[in-house]
A and B are shown apart, each in its own frame.
Chain A
Amino acid sequence: MVAARVRRALPLYLAVAPFVLSLLFPFYWMVVTSLKQNSELYDLQAIPFWFRVGPTLAHYSYLFQRTAFATWLGNTAVVAVLSTAIAVVISVLAAYALARLRFRGGETLGAMIFAVYLVPTTLLFIPLAQVVRALNLGDTRWALIVTYPTFLVPFATWLLMSYFRTIPRELEESAMIDGCSHLGALLRVVLPTAIPGVLTATLFAFTLSWNEFIYAVTFVSSTAQKTLGPGVVTELIRGDVYYWGELMAGAVLGSVPIAIAYALLLDYYISGLTAGALK
């Protein structure tokens, strides 16, 4: 049965193969490079796809012993967790009001939040740097924790709004007849039903703040406050010298936490995206 179906679908497998290979290859390449010895990395005769001399963890131990990589990893985690938490709380409240409650200016506000969603971070980073400095947050992790929600809240609000709309009104109305306030209905009835949507928004926000680069590279400059991406890129590329093995090791380690999160939550994520729809 399955075999026959697969055989008939052979063209589909052949068609998807180049995509899968070209998406996998850079990742494979990163991992292999990060495990190779320098003598082999810079050997023109060596076959680049596999090891000849044997794998080594030297690049990884260099990261932890000779650079502040552990600090950057910690900073990234703190920034991503806090900014995501702040953004999700703000967004859940706003999205519930916009999706369910009637108030003057609601539609205008919804449209405005959507417009902000489309504002790229690179449009306002120079004046925002001034604001950060005026708030006395210049060159600290807090600069990032405070500014990341500006691009997280708009999309999370929109995602959650469309998700909340798919929940039948009767659920919260019966809760409110039973004496719940709006906040009570939101916390006890709407949120538990909307878990896939909230998880999707959280995961998406977490990924965006984990991988954010431009604010991180412009607002923070001292080694002890840096996050992963800027730390690796600014301190392992010294002038024209690239520490390829270490750079790739940093990229691999930087992807692992997100990869684990997705492995655990992939099904929620897909269902949340398609039901809420970032359309």
Chain B
Amino acid sequence: MSIVAARAEPGRGRRRRLVSPEAATAYLFVAPAVAMLLLLVGYPFVLALYLATSNAVVGDLGRFVGPAQLTRLLGQEIFQQTLRNTAIYALTAVSVKIILGLALALILAGFGRHRLPASRLIRAVILLPWIVPTALSTVGWKWMFEPQFSVINWVLVRLGAIAYISDLPETDGASPLARFWFITLPLLRPVLATVVLFSLIMTISDFNIVYVLTRGGPLNSTHLLATLAHQVGLVTGEIGRGAAISLFMLPFLMIIVFYQMRLMRRKWEW
């Protein structure tokens, strides 16, 4: 009954009592999530801001030194190299992912439309890389590229080159391409934008692949922000400087969050 009343007169009833029973239940339900996020995300975030502007080292929280840490980093060769690596890695990885992912998605859509046999099997294969722990599958890739015993080497040596079949039989002249460009792509734009933004976050903040493949070496030339932060902050123990390096992800992240929120608001309005 109380729901019906509340629906008929929104706002009024709520204002008269301090908190309606419905709201009280709601606060109770969100309390664990809020508590956890405050303690384990909110507080570490504040701590990150402090550490990045302090001279803290392991076991000693140091004292506030202002933005000196951040400006000093910007002048360092290793850090500049890391920023360049992150930018190049993010741009190439995201473009390749998007192009291949889009192609695969269109092919799978075709499978779904025609209800073709083996669709389930193919779907399962596509999930395969997702179930292998990244850290371990990365080791697998390293083994494939291993200079002396690698499978890729073996193939290159035997065949001299890789022949790639690229011209698939055309079905309908140029019209599928036109259809894709003028109809499918515009329709996919909101989804595509979300996917791009998410992959950007993932690659800018990536750690596993570099940690396993190169550990940032040789001579610190292959670090990303996360691995350099780990190296400086936890291996060397300069946690202030490490936190500062991590914090350089924040501006990118904020831009992406801003766009993502705007994108979602637009979707809600529809």
Contacts and interface: CB of A to CB of B under 8 A. Distances in A.
B180 to A, nearest CB: 13
B99 interface: no
Interface stretch (B29-37, B70-78, B89-97): B29-37
A186 to B, nearest CB: 8
A116 B43 contact: no
B148 A214 contact: no
Contacts, number: 290
A214 B226 CA distance: 10
Interface string B109-149: 01100111100101111111111111111011111101011
Interface string A36-53: 000001101001110000
Given A120-B202, A124-B48, A27 B128 contact: yes
Contacts of B151: 29, 48-49
B88 interface: no
Interface string A1-40: 0100110111111111001100110110110010000000
B48 A207 contact: no
Nearest to B144: A29
B104 A229 contact: no
A15 B107 contact: yes
A218 B44 contact: no
B163 interface: no
Interface string B196-227: 00000110111110011000000000000110
Given A120-B202, A213-B133, A126 B128 contact: no
A259 B131 contact: yes
B226 A122 contact: yes
A259 B130 CA distance: 10
A255 B129 CA distance: 10
A129 B234 contact: yes
A255 B41 CA distance: 30
A47 B153 CA distance: 12
B85 interface: no
Given A93-B30, A123-B249, A146 B123 contact: no
A248 interface: yes
Interface residues of chain A: helix, strand, loop or mixed (majority): helix
Contacts of B132: 26-27, 30, 251, 254-255
A109 B207 CA distance: 29
Contact of B135 (A29, A109, A182, A230): A230
Interface in B63-84: none
A241 interface: no
A248 B134 contact: no
A131 B43 contact: yes
A125 B149 contact: no
Most chain B Cβ neighbours within 10 Å, of A116, A207, A251, A262: A251
A79 interface: no
B181 interface: no
Contacts of B29: 93-94, 96-97, 101, 182
B269 to A, nearest CB: 14
A211 interface: yes
A102 B12 CA distance: 13
A26 B33 contact: no
Contacts of A47: 154
A148 to B, nearest CB: 10
A93 B33 contact: yes
Contacts of A90: 32-33, 36
A56 interface: no
Nearest to B23: A103
A183 B133 contact: no
B30 A109 contact: yes
Interface stretch (A61-69, A149-157, A188-196): A149-157
A116 B239 contact: no
B168 A14 contact: yes
15 contacts: A6-B117, A12-B111, A15-B107, A26-B132, A102-B23, A114-B260, A120-B226, A123-B205, A124-B44, A153-B37, A154-B37, A214-B226, A228-B133, A237-B139, A254-B136
3 smallest A-B Cβ distances: which pairs? A120-B205, A251-B136, A122-B226
Given A26-B132, A247-B143, 9 more contacts: A9-B114, A97-B30, A121-B207, A130-B47, A229-B134, A230-B135, A232-B136, A247-B139, A266-B123
